[in-house]
Structure 1
């Protein structure tokens, strides 16, 4: 190093901020410390396992869920349960054969003893609690559907047929066409002191399916536990997409830098960021559920984005003749403020998801914020330290020098977005797009918009099984339960039963309700049975002794020991968002008019009731979360740049992207739900990085005396190309999710790809247009000082 270079280096060192000196004056110490941390967290990361929980997916503080949790012991089978359907496949055959009943018994016995199944609550034709009753001249007769005398003979099968027809189970446990029956298995959340492992339980169900399915009989399975198990199995394929993204990113990085070191080191540091994140999650006691499995992918993508900025800045500094160390230091110096601001904005933006009282979303927020936070160390600290020893390749330096000296026609044309004749047209187009987006986003709905399980593909095995049940059973799997509380031992009171009867009549005539069932309905049928089955007597009696006798004949599960709860079961046609809103509003209106000391109507249990509560929580938090994330990002930009003009230049393009994304969701039929809500915060958090980097460099050139178009042109030549590269790279990476077997992952891939591209376009296109007017006085003064540029 010559004396002049030493003098220049010493001068640059004196100008360095204290943080830079602390880091680069002790490089071996920092590298050794980071290496030890990486090794330790890697040992933790390999222990992270997929997990899921029923309670994590529901808003536990919502009034509906609080009511359900308080009464869940009295509503066994109406919460978390699976349905195993045993079907006959032979043409013309039905369930009334010795072979079928034997197969059903084998399945019933297997299911009862699965870990996680509430054995005493399992229902099937083989369960002694499933009984038949009939009215005779001598009164009521009844017994188990499958009597003790059953031996598989033709006579006993005929008795079985009669019992099934008299049991009232056709359409409930028995298919309308008598070609299948259901084994209903309620689940418990804890098994041997540990949370139920849904993936293991789902695999156990698949083993039953494989063992008992053949050409004669088939097993179909639906229920929350099976759905979550399928989601976990499908979501684990994200590792395959991660490898694809890794390969694509490496190829693009190499084409961008033409340097192997500059391509592989950012990828290594980005993978280290993922390892750190997973290791810290393990230390905090978290796992990965189907919804948060994509977060490591996003962390990798964000890390690559910031890593490219560092490599790009180093190549530029090295092309000015600086040594490896000084190039790394200057790159760090120029980027660490903007980089930390961008990453802190990302992290805080993700943390706004904590306002949504659904644990799976809150854990996703923590995982994402944690991952972004570690990028500050892995890609803004570790990467420059490594590159200060290795440096960028000569090819990359020569290419950067050539690009710096050459005029770029592409960037020159794009720089005209800042021109006084182009900027107003850009803003007008943005305004039109914003209006179109607002009109389109007005159609956006909360909750599911499709039948079956919208998290899975329509042709998935689960959705095909669900369609079979919906098609062949009168009672759908979408159940909403209204809990009617009475005083203790008051469930037999006429006033309570009559109020329930009025609710049932109202709900049977409501669009979207397939049918109803309640103690009041059954009691009326029993009273008619007491009177020789005459339909004229099928009504509630005011005689308490008659009601007492009739209520004593209720089946198990319809009355609790304290006799202070009357469940009203509504079988819905589907669980679409508008159906749930219509039904719950009708019930709430009825409750407001009819609640009394005798009966208090409360929502809600059942799968549809839980989903209605989840939709309400998301609707409550969605707008607040969006406002808060923008407020936080705006505040951080304001604190950093100390200019409200900077806030508008950086944040306004993000707002356009959010509006257009919501319009796209409405157009594609994607509702706002647990799986898609985080995309909005993630898109804003990641998108702000582009604007921060561009505005930071643009303001630097403006302070150096350049006019707006020259400053923007030079910004594009340096930071702009890195922003466009990372935007396209991230979009291509998440675009691979479209091929996932999990539909919500594919939906997230579509939405994030859209947001990455539009955030990049917004930063490159709209930011300079806003700058033209918001930095008006400064721009006019410098434009007048540089008339040649305006002429161009």
Structure 2
């Protein structure tokens, strides 16, 4: 493609024009960076087509939107019912109530329960003058609705439920949460906060920090690696200038386009480094090689852009196509990532294509900034050894077949779903909060269920139906895998217990239909807010809210099946409908894995068609795809062998692995095609190609692996998994292209 040669010539002859153009474009993109938003919202992963999502919206319409609640557990010196603890709660509550935007704080300290006075129920404060009676304490400790709502396991620590005004903005809510955290830190040596909004706020804070920390660390490591590999100041400044121009242009485009930075956005810094470094190293290495052949710098650049520019463009195109194939998924953040990643690859290619020759032109009189001629001795020796190995019939196919078979065996161990859908490093602040609530407060997996008739139009607030719900709730509470349970049968059961003298064994529905109806009426009249939160507007759904331990997806599904079976055992005329954030994430994760297979197949087909046009040979197409399949098999084997959960980022690794593998294959085969046209001898063409392109492949792979190093220290587990799998993919792709591809060409390539 002569267009790349023309660009190289134009930047050399008219540098001022290009400098002005690049400067103006860079300033435009840079001005978009301040508009870049960092956000993490689980609900963005929803798909409207799923039943679990439609049920979620049904619950919102029937029960109202979920209140903005945060759960605060201070680690007090004494147990939850101790007088000192109650006084500390009172002081803390009074302080927190002064924060504008907090509308209610519920805890043991202000607990109000009904008492029966003969003529009806009267609310009574259980804490008087900072103390609670021993009899009330004994009853509340064993009250099914109290554990995990008012105190943690075994009543060790108190639980405060903080309700925030629905009308406050996200920014103001974050300020409120920070104030709660700060005030709690002042009063207690240790405390833990949880709730969707607090977790998302903390997650976004970590997301911002990790993005910039990861970027800075990756740049520093890459600088060191470039110096080790090339030992020239220019070899550091040039990639830095080209990559930073492309990187800031992309993030500026995200800002202008309103594309937010979410958990997948943290992958862009290493991704851009990988893409940019691959382009830079291949072009830079080609210039070095041309200088070794005795070309002047201008000629070396022109010839490098003429030969390698086309291959670099095709690798960028296939990479962009691979990412764009993610559009087949119905998960919005994944679709967005595919589109944005496609644009990032093309922006980085343009940046490298233009900035590199311009840099050479401006540095023409500064030898320290220019590439030194390549030292070919070691690379020629490597090429000789690879060629000799490829000429042997059995070692290569046997070794790679064994590796593939072992990976296929390990792939059988791959499990979909994640244990912790937040995927946070346990040692982080949010990770510690998650672990504490898991161990002490009934788990974090929210499961929202509704009990309905098979004919969903029938009411569920009849005495008979409520007794069924009470029996069903009792069975749920008997399952040790289920933590906190809040049921629509709890308040009527509590009223019956109160009427029967406060005996715990009477925490059940009233014996007569009239009593149950009376209790339901009292509940609806005296506490309509909680009534509407648990019995739907149309009275056709009786709600039960559960919290499960943070089990894997298959275990969560087993619990759901058990729940359905338990209700069916009680009544064949009723059924359970499920929703909740964790269920939505599990369902979307499963759909994502299915979609990734479709995306990978689409990318495979599109790139196969592109390569068939490029080489105009079915034989060459097959030869090119064999080494590209090997890294995919290895990737799946690594995921299974390391017991890595198939989460959001990991599900995308296969597509990314494929496009990485294709890049080096295209560079190798295009150079091989040029060499075979010159020599018409397959062995010599393989040897020359391995010596020249192999050098660039090894150098670019080395720098890629270095760019992954910061991800191993990330607070996000998926980033660590992502780095581990992709590192193995880069190595296996390099070996496949340096060893398997030459072996195939020597045996199956046919000269025209």
Whether TM-score is above 0.5 comes out as yes
3-state DSSP class of the match of 2:260? coil
Relative to structure 1, is the Cα distance of residues 578 and 383 closer, same or farther in structure 2, using a 3 angstrom cutoff? Answer: same
Partner of 1:692: 666
Partner of 2:410: 440
Relative to structure 1, is the Cα distance of residues 631 and 159 closer, same or farther in structure 2, using a 3 angstrom cutoff? Answer: same
Q: Greater CA deviation, 349-358 or 534-543? A: 534-543
Distance 1:227 1:365 in 2: 26
Task: Report matched runs for 1:285-324 at 5 Å.
Answer: 285-324=258-297
Relative to structure 1, is the Cα distance of residues 548 and 699 closer, same or farther in structure 2, using a 3 angstrom cutoff? Answer: same
- Report the alpha carbon displacement of residue 266 of structure 1 after superposing the two structures with TM: 2.2
Partner of 1:9: none
Q: Does residue 173 of the first structure (1) align with residue 150 of the second (2)?
A: yes
Distance 1:502 1:182 in 2: 27
Distance 2:6 2:293 in 1: 21
Partner of 2:426: 458
Choose which of 620, 631, 643 in structure 1 pairs with 2:605.
Answer: 631
Do the aligned partners of 1:76 and 1:186 also contact (CA within 8 Å) in 2? no
Partner of 1:479: 446
Distance 1:407 1:431 in 2: 27
Choose which of 331, 340, 347 in structure 1 pairs with 2:304.
Answer: 331
Choose which of 8, 11, 28 in structure 2 pairs with 1:40.
Answer: 28
Distance 2:55 2:196 in 1: 20
Do the aligned partners of 2:73 and 2:160 also contact (CA within 8 Å) in 1? yes
Distance 1:668 1:545 in 2: 60
- List gaps (5 residues or longer) in structure 2: none
Q: Does residue 56 of the first structure (1) align with residue 44 of the second (2)?
A: yes
Partner of 1:745: 719
- Report the alpha carbon displacement of residue 445 of structure 1 after superposing the two structures with TM: 1.2
- Report the alpha carbon displacement of residue 247 of structure 1 after superposing the two structures with TM: 2.9
Do the aligned partners of 1:96 and 1:160 also contact (CA within 8 Å) in 2? no
Q: Does residue 345 of the first structure (1) align with residue 318 of the second (2)?
A: yes
Do the aligned partners of 1:445 and 1:666 also contact (CA within 8 Å) in 2? yes
Q: Does residue 565 of the first structure (1) align with residue 537 of the second (2)?
A: no
Distance 1:518 1:674 in 2: 33
Q: Does residue 412 of the first structure (1) align with residue 384 of the second (2)?
A: yes
- Report the alpha carbon displacement of residue 309 of structure 1 after superposing the two structures with TM: 1.0
For normalisation by structure 2, the TM-score amounts to: 0.87
Relative to structure 1, is the Cα distance of residues 97 and 433 closer, same or farther in structure 2, using a 3 angstrom cutoff? Answer: closer
Q: Greater CA deviation, 307-316 or 269-278? A: 307-316
Q: Does residue 362 of the first structure (1) align with residue 329 of the second (2)?
A: no
RMSD: 3.7
3-state DSSP class of the match of 2:649? coil
Do the aligned partners of 1:591 and 1:602 also contact (CA within 8 Å) in 2? no
Relative to structure 1, is the Cα distance of residues 489 and 545 closer, same or farther in structure 2, using a 3 angstrom cutoff? Answer: farther
- Report the alpha carbon displacement of residue 552 of structure 1 after superposing the two structures with TM: 3.0
- Report the alpha carbon displacement of residue 56 of structure 1 after superposing the two structures with TM: 1.7
Cα distance per residue 1:104-150 (max 9 Å; x no partner) = 41365267725xxxx47x644467xx6424567x3764525457xx4
Distance 2:198 2:410 in 1: 35
- Report the alpha carbon displacement of residue 190 of structure 1 after superposing the two structures with TM: 7.7
Distance 1:72 1:497 in 2: 22
Do the aligned partners of 2:284 and 2:371 also contact (CA within 8 Å) in 1? no
Q: Greater CA deviation, 546-555 or 57-66? A: 546-555
Relative to structure 1, is the Cα distance of residues 307 and 603 closer, same or farther in structure 2, using a 3 angstrom cutoff? Answer: same
Choose which of 511, 519, 543 in structure 1 pairs with 2:488.
Answer: 519
Distance 1:53 1:398 in 2: 47
Relative to structure 1, is the Cα distance of residues 18 and 525 closer, same or farther in structure 2, using a 3 angstrom cutoff? Answer: closer
Do the aligned partners of 2:487 and 2:543 also contact (CA within 8 Å) in 1? yes
Cα distance per residue 1:755-787 (max 9 Å; x no partner) = 222222222122222323431x43xx9xxxxxx
Choose which of 224, 228, 232 in structure 1 pairs with 2:196.
Answer: 224
For normalisation by structure 1, the TM-score amounts to: 0.83
- List gaps (5 residues or longer) in structure 1: 1-15, 782-792
- Count of aligned pairs between the two proteins: 738
Partner of 2:123: 143
Q: Does residue 602 of the first structure (1) align with residue 569 of the second (2)?
A: no
Distance 1:489 1:52 in 2: 39
- Report the alpha carbon displacement of residue 749 of structure 1 after superposing the two structures with TM: 2.1
Do the aligned partners of 1:541 and 1:547 also contact (CA within 8 Å) in 2? yes
- Report the alpha carbon displacement of residue 299 of structure 1 after superposing the two structures with TM: 0.7
Partner of 1:788: none
Choose which of 632, 641, 665 in structure 2 pairs with 1:658.
Answer: 632
Distance 2:165 2:4 in 1: 54
Q: Does residue 183 of the first structure (1) align with residue 151 of the second (2)?
A: no
Distance 1:412 1:44 in 2: 51
3-state DSSP class of the match of 2:373? helix
- Report the alpha carbon displacement of residue 522 of structure 1 after superposing the two structures with TM: 5.3
Q: Greater CA deviation, 501-510 or 711-720? A: 501-510
Cα distance per residue 1:658-710 (max 9 Å; x no partner) = 22222222333321112322333222223321111112112221232343332
Relative to structure 1, is the Cα distance of residues 690 and 529 closer, same or farther in structure 2, using a 3 angstrom cutoff? Answer: same
Distance 2:312 2:578 in 1: 48
Cα distance per residue 1:490-530 (max 9 Å; x no partner) = 12135654664675577567683346443246545655666
Relative to structure 1, is the Cα distance of residues 352 and 760 closer, same or farther in structure 2, using a 3 angstrom cutoff? Answer: same
Distance 2:584 2:277 in 1: 39
